[in-house]
């Protein structure tokens, strides 16, 4: 998905008849600290870029994973699974929303664990059993969430998407990264003192209108 396609989905009114977009991707929180393309068609080229993380992904090469598993065997790969799980636990324990490299660390270690799980499933022939177990536990957890009113009845897809976007914005962006929002806050934003210990969550919690204080 390109930045322009993202804007088309969320703000179609900001794309003119010639296909030009208003402002920059950074102004809408689509990226942070972007480098402006200073040329005549710079904005068009910028908006036509593919958003990181939305690239077309190649399917996982399951045959290669199977080859690795059969080469090393069950005993060695069980030990390797234990090692990789330990590294994932360590990465999760060091997670800090203020530092993106901790997210990348979790992603890397989670990938290692998933590869090892695939190998163990193949070597033990338990793929179907694992999938059945996952389905049962997911259904059970959803049932418990409904019983304890943790899962809102009638929640729409948009509600769920906005919930995840809210978490992403608070964890990865500062209001200062969104120029139009800073302009709307005006002098009140200039007077705001960012408290590093509280992170950007404190800033995002500021009321938009003074009378709401």
Extents of the domains making up the chain: 3-47, 62-128, 157-212
Sign of the dihedral through C-alpha 71, 75, 77, 79? negative
The Cα 203–Cα 174 span in angstroms is 7
User: Residue 212: what pLDDT?
Assistant: 46
Lowest mean pLDDT among 4-18, 26-40, 155-169: 26-40
Model confidence pLDDT, tens digit, residues 83-96: 999 999 999 999 98
User: What pTM, to 2 d.p., does this model score?
Assistant: 0.50
User: Residue 33: what pLDDT?
Assistant: 64
Model confidence pLDDT, tens digit, residues 46-76: 778 877 777 666 778 899 999 999 999 999 9
CATH 2.60.120: does it fit domain 62-128?
no
């Amino acid at each position: 998905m390109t930045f322009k396609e993202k804007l088309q989905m969320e703000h179609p009114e900001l794309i003119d008849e010639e296909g030009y977009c208003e402002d920059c991707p950074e102004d809408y929180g689509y990226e942070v600290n972007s480098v402006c393309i200073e040329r005549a068609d710079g904005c068009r080229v910028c908006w036509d870029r593919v958003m990181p993380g939305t690239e077309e992904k190649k399917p996982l090469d399951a045959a290669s994973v199977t080859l690795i598993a059969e080469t090393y065997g069950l005993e060695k790969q069980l030990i390797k699974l234990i090692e990789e799980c330990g590294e994932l636990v360590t990465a999760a324990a060091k997670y800090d929303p203020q530092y993106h490299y901790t997210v990348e660390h979790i992603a890397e270690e989670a990938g290692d664990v998933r590869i090892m799980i695939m190998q163990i499933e193949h070597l033990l022939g338990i793929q179907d059993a694992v999938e059945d177990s996952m389905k049962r536990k997911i259904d059970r957890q959803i049932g418990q969430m409904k019983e304890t009113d943790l899962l809102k009845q009638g929640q729409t897809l948009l509600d769920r998407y906005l919930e995840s976007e809210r978490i992403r914005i608070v964890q990865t962006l500062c209001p200062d990264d969104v120029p139009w929002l800073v302009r709307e806050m005006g002098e009140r934003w200039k007077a705001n003192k960012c408290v590093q210990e509280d992170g950007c969550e404190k800033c995002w919690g500021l009321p938009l209108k003074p009378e709401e204080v």
